């Protein structure tokens, strides 16, 4: 099994709270990005005290109430399935704060982490505040919801975005990377991909590869899997008949998404 492909590994950590993924710097090749997926039954609560990390809590599905013990955002979350393709609500919580997520309905929540040393205000990122983009043409069409883009100064390190790729299409394509701390040309950002497919028995292929091929893995990715991108290009191919959803978390030394397309494939963008 690839070291970059994480299968769901469900553990009930407290009554009604199931940890589905738990990616940390201790158990993965990622240093800047951490990621969890938590399922909650109605009324169940998940509590966490953050150390030197900030967290973006994304209500993937279902309704939740989120509190940092000073402010509370009640009944947030907008969808029963990510494939409703509408933006959802999220909450940014800064380092050294405690937060509580309570499920109002059955809920799946993504917790996106990165290092952070300077406190910022807790913030509700409303669904309607997501920047929506339709990117690409030909067999490269995808819909993007920008939850925490680099133009939004609400976080110190975290970048969070969700992407829907149409059946038979490609995304993160032509292949691009962001693995050199060499601004203004390229930024260094690690990345995680949390994948879902519609219908759920679908699969996608994701290749992660560096210029020197010290990393070169092509993975068959199934519903609920997480792919880790410590470095390199990371295109996704979606078979005919299936739609793809993924949630990306990116972080690195500088909070700028400046990517570099693989020159051999850049002509794909230049087609009329």
Residues in touch with ligand LN3RO5KU (CB under 6 A): 135, 142, 144, 161, 163, 171-172, 191, 234, 248, 259
d(CA 250, CA 29): 14
CA nearest to 134, candidates 85, 182, 177 = 85
Q: Which is nearer to ligand LN3RO5KU, 157 or 171 (CB)?
A: 171
Q: Which is nearer to ligand LN3RO5KU, 27 or 134 (CB)?
A: 134
Q: HSE-up of 180 (CA within 13 Å, CB side)?
A: 13
CB of 159 to ligand LN3RO5KU, least distance (A): 8
CB of 265 to ligand LN3RO5KU, least distance (A): 13
d(CA 140, CA 54): 33
Q: Which is nearer to ligand LN3RO5KU, 41 or 180 (CB)?
A: 180
φ/ψ region of 263 (left if φ > 0, alpha if ψ in -120 to 50, else beta) reads alpha
φ/ψ region of 269 (left if φ > 0, alpha if ψ in -120 to 50, else beta) reads alpha
Q: Which is nearer to ligand LN3RO5KU, 135 or 137 (CB)?
A: 135
Output the residue with the shortest Cβ distance to ligand LN3RO5KU: 171
CB 39 within 8 A of CB 258: no
CB of 93 to ligand LN3RO5KU, least distance (A): 23
């Amino acid at each position: 099994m690839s070291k970059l492909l994480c299968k769901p590994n469900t553990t009930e950590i407290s009554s009604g709270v199931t940890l589905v993924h738990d990616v940390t710097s201790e158990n993965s090749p990622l240093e800047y990005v951490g990621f969890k997926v938590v399922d909650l039954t109605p009324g169940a609560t998940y509590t966490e005290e953050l150390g030197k990390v900030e967290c973006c809590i994304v209500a993937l599905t279902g309704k939740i109430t989120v509190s940092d013990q000073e402010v509370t955002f009640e009944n947030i979350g907008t969808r029963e399935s990510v494939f409703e393709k509408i933006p959802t609500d999220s909450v940014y919580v800064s380092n050294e704060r405690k937060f509580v997520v309570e499920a109002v309905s059955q809920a799946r929540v993504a917790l996106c982490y990165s290092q952070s040393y300077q406190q910022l205000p807790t913030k509700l990122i409303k669904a309607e505040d997501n920047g929506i983009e339709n990117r690409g043409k030909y067999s490269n069409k995808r819909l993007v919801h920008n939850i925490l883009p680099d133009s939004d100064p609400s976080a110190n390190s975290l970048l969070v975005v969700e992407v829907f790729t149409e059946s038979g299409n490609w995304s993160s394509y032509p292949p691009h990377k962001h693995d050199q701390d060499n601004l203004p040309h390229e930024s260094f950002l690690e990345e995680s991909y949390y994948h879902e497919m519609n219908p759920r028995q679908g699969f996608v292929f994701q290749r992660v590869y560096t210029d020197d091929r010290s990393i070169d893995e092509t993975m068959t990715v199934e519903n609920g899997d997480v792919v880790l991108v410590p470095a390199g290009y990371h295109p996704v191919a979606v078979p005919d008949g299936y739609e793809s959803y993924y949630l990306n978390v990116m972080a690195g030394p500088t909070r700028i998404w400046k990517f570099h397309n693989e020159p051999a494939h850049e002509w794909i963008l230049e087609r009329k």
